[in-house]
Amino acid sequence: MDRKYKSGKFGHKSQSLILKYIASGLFVLCLTCCVSIPFQKTALVPVELFDPAEVRQHFADSLPSAFQLVNTIEFMYKRHSIPSAIGYIDADIKNKSFTVAGINPIGGYTLFELSMEQDRVDCRFAIEEFARHGDFASAVADNIKKAYFDRIPAANANIVKKKYTIIFRQPEISGTMEYVFAGADKVLIEKNYYENNRKVWSVFYYEYQKVNEKLYPAGIIIKHYQYKYNLVIRILEIRA
């Protein structure tokens, strides 16, 4: 894997890859029909014969430990859709680090670039509109962590088996995390976080595809209940 992007500057290969999608008009095409859920949900099957421990381990083994993705990011607020960015992410799940950059889909200029190492966020660049919000970098990093990190429940998590889903629940510092597995391929379709028995945020995963024997969700929706907005992430290219 080409790791040049992690060296600190927005690499020419990564920039060229992103600009290719902007030039092709694919970014606009992807966002023209995103008012409703733009992905196909995982087909549900009875899970009564599935062993939860095997489901957990099988999914853990199917996830990549590191990857590079080109994706589109759309901000949805009160049913209004706002095309936000086309982005590049270089993630190392094992070492809990990533670098991400967002590009304006119209002008092709960099909106932001930041990295995270062991929960320490470094904002390398952000346009003035973003930079004046002191929590911008942390908010971006937090959403990336929600989507791509911590997708495996603890081995000692509480398990609830329903007709079509297997749910793992485990305590967190301030609340409870819930992982919902379903489908014939026994994949994670939903991740929910609760505080005081109220759902704070969810991540929904759609249309898994296999690349080099590892699974990647082609679509991700992050839903924030308190602030009433969604982030819709659509993968354009996987560089595993």
Which structure tokens are listed for 110? Answer: 């960099």
Q: Strand order of the sheet with strand 187-195?
A: 120-126, 110-117, 97-103, 80-92, 66-77, 229-239, 214-224, 198-211, 187-195, 176-182, 166-171, 158-161
Q: Return per-residue pLDDT of the chain as tens, 240 residues.
A: 333 333 334 455 555 544 444 444 444 444 444 446 789 999 999 999 999 999 999 999 999 999 999 999 888 876 666 667 888 999 999 999 999 999 988 888 898 999 999 889 999 999 888 877 668 889 899 999 999 999 999 999 999 999 999 999 999 999 999 999 999 999 999 999 999 999 999 999 999 999 999 999 999 999 999 888 899 999 999 986
68, HSE (Cβ side, Cα atoms, 13 Å)? 16
Please give the model's pTM, rounded to 2 decimal places.
Answer: 0.85
- CATH architecture of the domain 4-239 equals Clam (2.50)
